[in-house]
Amino acid sequence: MRKAFGGVQALDGLSLAVPAGSVLGLLGPNGSGKTTTVSILATLLRPDAGRAIVGGLDVVTQAARVRQVIGLAGQFAAVDPNLTGRENLRLIGRLSRIGRSQARVRADELLDSFGLSAAAGRLVRGYSGGMRRRLDVAAALLHRPAVLFLDEPTTGLDPESRFALWDCVRDLARSGTAVLLTTQYLDEADALADQVVIIAEGRVADTGAPAELKARFGTVVFSLDFGRPEAARAAHAALAASGYRPQRDGAGIQVRSATGSGELTSVLRALDGRAPDPVSVAVREPTLDDVFLSLTRGGEAA
């Protein structure tokens, strides 16, 4: 898919696929095209070029029917703060074409399964952030969509609410829903996604299962803390000169290794005499953050 806004190429030949019953995590820095992608797939935007098929239907030529099989929740879709939780769900149920009585039944079912039964009769403006977000996801599920779009569903949530929402997403995928999840939290993608697509500048930078991506990145990561950014900068230069691809973040340096923890000796040798000794050294497994940062920005970051 391609999409430009003015002179800015938001999507530049992006391709992805989400099989039924699976979760695809769409990762990318701000402005990389995540929201544009979801907007096109949810029929809010037309692509300039390319095709998108959702639930077997073309999002441009069959947009009205696509809307019957999708649910959209997250950042930029909302519920009404001046209605109660139950009124919100009944309204959206009626507008989702499931009929008035079915809308009532589904609303109560969803309130129950999202732990909102007790708050169902209260105005949403009095809900906590976590409750509001759960209601938002529930509102996307009234017509049992085959495809669910979740745009940064847990941004700003406390850990408990996040985990509760994660369980809901897992259950949905298990019941056959195809879920497309955009997130800024890599641990969220790691926990939920069967496949991860990392996008940068409107293109797919890498794709694979979280475990594959991490394995491709390396077996271990050395995490060196130099205490001061200047020292880390010198270390970065020294390591780069020795053929490593270090990542610097403030006073810290991450170096990945394909061969294992034994390589630490040669990493430290590369620093010897060219940079101050690190304050601390840790050996850890790679995370999706490492993969993400190596793909979406160069080695040296501010």
Partner 1 sequence: MSTTAIAPRQAAASRVTKASTTLTTALSDTASVAWRNLLTQLRTPQALVFATIQPVIFVLLFRYAFGGAIHVPGTNYVDFLMPGIFAQTVAFGAVGTAVGLSGDLRTGILVRFRALPMARIAVLGGRTVADLARNLLVVAVMIGVGFAAGFRSPRGAGGLLAALGLVIAFGYALSWGFASLGLRVSDPEAAQAAAVPVMFLLVFTSAAFVPSTAMPGWLQAFGTHQPVDALVNAERALILGGPAAHDVLISLAWSGGLLIVFALLAARNYARVGR
| Contacting positions for partner 1 (CB under 8 A) | 1-2, 13-20, 37, 39, 41-45, 49-57, 64-65, 67-70, 72, 75-83, 87, 91-92, 94-97, 123, 139, 143, 146-147, 178, 180
Task: Measure the CA angle with vertex 80, ends 74 and 81; round to 5°.
Answer: 105
Minimum separation from the CB atom of position 76 to partner 1 (A): 5
**Gap between the Cα atoms of 63 and 55, Å rounded:** 11
Nearest to partner 1 of 70, 271 (CB atom): 70
Nearest to partner 1 of 103, 221 (CB atom): 103
Nearest by Cα to 24 from 187, 203, 186, 209: 209
Nearest to partner 1 of 43, 294 (CB atom): 43
Q: Is 140 left (phi over 0), alpha (psi -120 to 50) or beta?
A: alpha
The dihedral over CA atoms of 134, 137, 139, 143, expressed in degrees to the nearest 10, equals -140
Backbone angles phi, psi at 157, to 5 degrees: -95, 150
Nearest to partner 1 of 39, 254 (CB atom): 39
Nearest to partner 1 of 20, 279 (CB atom): 20
Q: Is 75 exposed, middle or buried (0-12, 13-18, 19+ CB in 10 A)?
A: middle
- What DSSP line would sit under 79-124, residue for residue? --TTSBHHHHHHHHHHHTTS-HHHHHHHHHHHHHHTT-GGGTTSBG
Sheet strand arrangement including 23-27: 70-74, 147-151, 178-183, 23-27, 195-200, 203-208
Hunting for tokens 């993400």 — which residue is that?
292
Decide: 136 and 77 in contact? Cβ < 8 Å: yes
Minimum separation from the CB atom of position 17 to partner 1 (A): 5
Nearest to partner 1 of 189, 235 (CB atom): 189
Decide: 210 and 288 in contact? Cβ < 8 Å: yes
Nearest to partner 1 of 24, 220 (CB atom): 24
Nearest to partner 1 of 75, 184 (CB atom): 75
H or E segment and range at residue 9? strand 8-12
199 forms bridges with which residues in the sheet?
Answer: 204
